[in-house]
Structure 1
Amino acid sequence: FLEPVQNAGGCFPPPPGYFERVREICDRHDVLLVSDEVICAFGRLGTMFGAQRFGYTPDIITFAKGVTSGYAPLGGMLVADRLFEPFRHGTEMFAHGYTFGGHPVAAAVALANLDLFEREDLNGHVMRNRDAFRGTLERLLDLPIVGDVRGDGYFYGIELVKDKDTRETFDDDECERLLRGFLDKALYEAGLYCRADDRGDPVVQLAPPLVCDQGHFDEIEQILRSVLTEAWARM
């Protein structure tokens, strides 16, 4: 199970060749490769699926959230033809069930949402603007509290550090004061809805709407600059 861009650790994109090597190892040992695309699918990286963005073919894709753009709850999975083959004919079945499985309203919302993706070329919009988003966020690297800017598409993490030269991170108590004690509320009140997360490196995670352009990027950068500058002064 792999995310195209690792979420919980702080928006880590794969190094070159990573997924090709994983695919090779899985094939050698007959292990299924599952791409967890709950975060990365449906335009977040500028492609319908993150696996497309990084050029690998999983055996299973799990997805949710973006398939309806969050307007209705829906999750699902896609499987490779070779996995479906035993169920294609005869009476073989995968015995499972969920009360709301195949909900017609959620499915209708997903279909309408995917039509909109094509009609407004949302994937293309992200691909055309992703470098501008990265470049705008990288302006923040001049701040002493910002140790790294990483991610892909419209999904980025701003890593927060105590020492820029050594990349020393904040300890648990400092993270508590910094992230939940100040940043969560301050960013929200400044008009930026995002997530301050310390399940790995302490980061501010950004996943803006897929229609955002340079004007929005500038606003995001300005709010972050102001709030992070105050956060550093408080530490």
Structure 2
Amino acid sequence: MNVPTAPHILVIDDDPDVRELVVEYLGNNDMRVSAGESGRDLFDLFDRESIDLVLLDLRLPGEDGMLLARHLRDRAAVPIIFLTGRNEEADRVMGLELGADDYVTKPFSPRELLARVRAVLRRYQVQATLPERDSSRRAFRFAGWELNLRTRRLTSPSGAVVELSNGEFSLLSALCRAPQRILSRDQLLSMSRLHEGEVYDRTIDVQVRRLRLKVESDPANPLLILTERGAGYRLAADVETLY
């Protein structure tokens, strides 16, 4: 049953059976659902409608789901859950590196998909209602680096702008909010709002590895983002908060 405040979900999948299943099940659980089968449908519907979350098939025929997601991220910070028939770790890691909010492998349980959609929507709602002090922050400075929270860009000590994925930005923001503190993977997952539910601990490890490639002079021997064996990670720098 659709209601005026129901979240609007966009599902893009070339399989009509999958589209029908998602439209019917989510629609019966107080969500609006629009559906398409191609990248063209994705952007046509996204530009016409107010979309709260996108379910995107990673392997559309003749199209690169990763590239479509990247273009979508350039337009808006909309949550994305990947749908795919492949269960390979490389695909999961690639999706996480791109900043996907979750990843569901076909065939999937409609109940599980609904739970994941609700979980991602909750995370974005929480992020939109952060305390005023958090939302008033303009940037973090540490060890010559500056992380601008409004433009979501990182500037190096030399002044070069370093682009960050959504996942990298979220994780670095979490580390900057708790400098010099050891944060467990669970804490980082919660603070960065990367994932919840059935999450891979390696989500954090992947993002840390990518961040080190961007901020460490020698990623193999990091000086800023340190691994605390058996405990988690720590940002080994003093952080100045700019308002």
**TM-score strictly above 0.5:** no
TM-score normalised by L of structure 1: 0.27
**If you compute each CA radius of gyration, which structure gives the higher value, 1 or 2?**
1
Is the strand fraction higher in 1 or 2? 2
With a CA cutoff of 8 Å and minimum separation of 6, indicate the structure with the bigger relative contact order: 1
